[in-house]
Amino acid sequence: MTHPLRIELPTEYEAGPVNAYLFMEPEPVLVDTGVKSEASWRALLAALAEHGLTPGDLSRVVLTHGHVDHFGQANRLWQEGGVRLETAVVVAHRLTNFTDYWQKRTAFYKNIFLPQTALPPQMYQFMLAYFEIVANNYEDVPTQILHTYADDAVIELGGLPWQVMHTPGHCSHQTIFYQPETRQLFSSDMLLQRTPTPVVELPANGRTREPSLPIFMRSLDVVESLEVDVVYPGHGEIFHDHRGLVRRQRERILRRTQETYACIQGGCHTAAEITAHLYADRPLAIQFAGLWMALGYVDLLLENGRITAREENGIILYEANGS
């Protein structure tokens, strides 16, 4: 059975190092690339050299989704080695139009989303600073060099056919790859040892965000149904027993959702208050991801009709039904 080689690449983000995966046979193929940085580039070159390869020896680079720690070095790999870049249709627009998307998303956070949360100034400024860091850590992938396949295509990796699956939740354009005969799964950021955060993206109407955690939970059901022996995640070590991990993550999410409900019953009415309650005394980087998670728990409560939301003076307030 063909197994990919895990390559760990450094990032400056709270999530830590990111994984790329290298298939050696029947041709060298790389899945994901790491963030755009000199440290990451040197690490990738060193990993390729360990196996007698340079960027020019790669036949293809397959990209799982449009987050900068996963596609950041795609352009450089193409420039240095002429490698073929591939991704699903649902991912492609994010890669080729990242500059425009990021500018609009930054404006959405600054002018609409963050004011709605009533975050304290320190946290507000931290998040905007993060957006500036990301703006320096990517470049658009030219449309003419990016080859696309259908969101449910079958692609070849390691001489085997892998099913492409669109599993939104962590982000709207997350794809994973499944090989049913050998029971292998490239989970990317859909399934990690630590529950992936349901990222608040730029909404289609420019104002009303999508309920990412409920969407993620439905994708989690899909992944749980697969017959899998080994999982290759986007971050962290390769692991097994994916159903045990799914069960633990689902149980934790439901427990934290109940804690959020109790918090709202107890008088926490804004996203900032809920986040502060759930992530008290945690570093700002953790609180940033914590805001996304807290809103995910809120979305589950809204979906189940346990709370209501209303906007007052530009701030969204949450109330427990019956309280």
Percent pLDDT > 70 in the chain is 99
Residue 128: inside a domain = no
pLDDT at residue 84 is higher than 90: yes
CA distances 64 to 151, 172, 177, 190, 294, Å, are 11, 12, 8, 10, 26
Give me the pLDDT at residue 154, please.
Answer: 98
Lowest-confidence pick of 26-40, 141-155, 309-323 = 309-323
Over the stretch 93-111, which tens digit does the pLDDT of each residue have?
999 999 999 999 999 999 9
Q: Stretch 261-272: mean pLDDT, rounded?
A: 96
Is the pLDDT confidence value at 136 over 90?
no
DSSP secondary-structure letter at 143? G
pLDDT of 216-258, one tens digit each? 999 999 999 999 999 999 999 999 999 999 999 999 999 999 9
Tokens 């999530």 identify what position? 15
Residue 36 lies in a domain: yes
Token couple for 155? 């692609």
**Which pLDDT does position 12 carry in this prediction?**
84
Structural domain range at position 209: 5-98+135-240
Identify the pLDDT of residue 280: 83
In a domain, 58, yes or no: yes
Query: Average of pLDDT values for 294-313?
Result: 96
Domains in the chain: how many in total?
Answer: 1
The verdict on residue 259 lying in a domain is: no
- Does residue 120 have a cis peptide bond before it, meaning omega lies within 30 degrees of 0? no
Residue 124: what pLDDT?
86
Residue 173 confidence (pLDDT): 96
- At residue 264, the 3 state secondary structure works out as helix
Residue 148: is its pLDDT beyond 70? yes
- pTM passes above 0.85: yes
CATH number, position 191: 3.60.15.10
Give the integer Cα–Cα distance in Å for 228 and 323: 44
Residue 287 has pLDDT above 90, yes or no: no
Could you tell me if residue 206 is inside a domain?
A: yes
| Strand ranges inside 202-314, DSSP E | 230-233, 307-312
Contacts 24+ apart (CB under 8 A), 24-28: 24/51, 25/158, 25/159, 26/158, 26/159, 27/59, 27/60, 28/53, 28/57, 28/58, 28/59
Mean pLDDT of the chain: 94
Distance CA 131, CA 97 (A): 16
31 within some domain: yes
For residue 1, pLDDT over 70 is answered with no
In a domain, residue 321? The reply is no
Residues above pLDDT 90, as percent of the chain:
85
**Among the listed residues 84, 25, 15, 14, the one whose alpha carbon sits nearest the alpha carbon of residue 5:** 25
Is 281 contained in some domain? Answer: no
Q: What is the pLDDT of residue 191?
A: 97
The pLDDT of residue 123 is 86
